[in-house]
Amino acid sequence: MMELLVKELINAVEGKLVNGNTNVKITGISTDSRKITKGELFVPLKGERFDGEDFVKDAVSSGAVAVITADLRNVELLKDTTVAVIYVKDTLTAFHEIAAYYRKKFDIPFIAVTGSSGKTTTKDMIAEVLSKKYAVLKTGGNFNNEIGLPLTIFRLESYHQIAVVEMGMSGIGEIKRLKEIAKPQVAVFTNIGVAHIEKLGSRENILKAKAELIEDFGENNVIVLNADDDMLVRLPQTYRGKYYKYGITNGDVKAYNIEKDERGVRYVLKVRELEKRVELSIPGMHNVYNSLAAICVGLEFGVSVEDMADALREFKPEKMRLNIIDGGKIKIIDDAYNANPDSMKAALTVLRDLDSKRKVAVLGDMLELGEYSKEAHKDIGKFVLECGIDVLVTSGNFAKYIAEEAKICGMNSSNIFICKNNEEANKVLDSIIKEGDLILVKGSRGMKMEQIVHHLQERVK
């Protein structure tokens, strides 16, 4: 992070300096008192289980030279110290205002990626493609919310030429707030599914919430969208700006002659009159779409098709995202990072398409679906049967509906195992796993399905 002065922060947040002086230099910004280093600003935020204001003293002890606070107790606590203390009405709002101020220091394009699923992989592929020509900053992991996005922006350095950020949301207004901080020039839409339908009630409302990203887009902006998605094609064409539309069935940037196996996916890219063979080292038809989105962004920023093909061939996904682990006697598809109905179906399709003696699906709860939870899990149960999965193991209170529906639809009950938790699932797997099995492990982040992956890995050592 480039240095900031306290007086800059005061102007950015319209706060009041109640201690210290305005010329204190800030070398970093943190919201975690446990990770503060000397010279940083501490911004205490309120979470579900903690209040950062309670840890201001710890942050100062660890080296914080400045503090933003909305708590008069901390004003009193830090008086007569050398720490610069800026008093504000709301620390989260101040955090966002500082991030917006810092972003304005960089005259570089931002690409924002949103959608119901595939955001992180698409963001990473875009960054990989652009890195063939530019110095790229990208969102780490899935730091895609009102805290993660500002923290990403604070990682900007003078040498960065372009930034790729991920934007998630669970309700109306959230994408708009993130957009106002990052000011993206390019918006990339992956798909509109049912993730977060608990709060929004319908896919139409999810589309509306995602479309906040392009509400004020003008002629100098660019929109990249999946033309095969039945909801995204409804984005009002009245939005000014340049469009790139990608897909397998529809779009200007298309993939055909698709081949898939355990090594990954291969296809022929067609962009107008140009054709180029593209190879991905990760499986899944959904990753064809993710890569097409990345290619659209690369085309916009002048990356050659040859360089993009090289970048995509070299691309490796983050941990717990469709990583195939060869355990010798068995193979594991580790997709434990998170799950919603769309990504669950995508992972099951990968399991279906890969060769193996026996296909085993270990599926956990999909969370944040509200009143749709039961039906959404039952729908996955039907899909398990359609994919020809040999063995189904479920873990969690909602995942049992996957198992029950698979049984109702005709799956052999002797190959269905309903478990309350991961510990039970591990015991079941110990008793049923055979040499030659291909095992998919997937569930929402809160289910910690990586516990099962680790257990399987230990078992086959």
Which residues carry a binding-site annotation for ATP? 115-121
Integer Cα distance of 159 and 393 in angstroms: 49
Residues forming the annotated binding site?
115-121
Mode of pairing for the β-strands spanning 222-226 and 358-364: unpaired
- State the distance between the two ends of the chain, measured CA to CA, in whole angstroms: 43
DSSP letter at 365 equals P
Q: Can you tell me whether residue 260 is helix, strand or coil?
A: strand
Query: How many other C-beta atoms are found inside a 10 Å radius of the C-beta of residue 167?
Result: 28
Q: Do 416 and 406 form a contact (C-beta atoms < 8 A)?
A: yes
Q: In the block, which residue shows the tokens 């009102």?
A: 146
What SS3 state is found at 415? helix
| Burial state string for 13-45 with b = 16 or more CB within 10 A and e = fewer than 16 | bebebbbbeeebebebbbbebeebeeebbbbbb
C-alpha 397 chain-centroid distance: 25
Could you list the beta-strand ranges (E) of 236-296.
242-247, 253-261, 264-271, 274-280
Is 332 in contact with 262 (CB distance < 8 Å)? no
Contact criterion met (CB below 8 Å) for 255 and 286: no
Sequence length of the chain is 461
21: phi > 0 → left, psi -120 to 50 → alpha, else beta; which? beta
DSSP per position, 366-398? PPS-GGGHHHHHHHHHHHHHHTT-SEEEEESTT
Surface-to-core class of residue 263, CB atoms within 10 Å of its CB (0-12 exposed, 13-18 middle, 19+ buried): middle
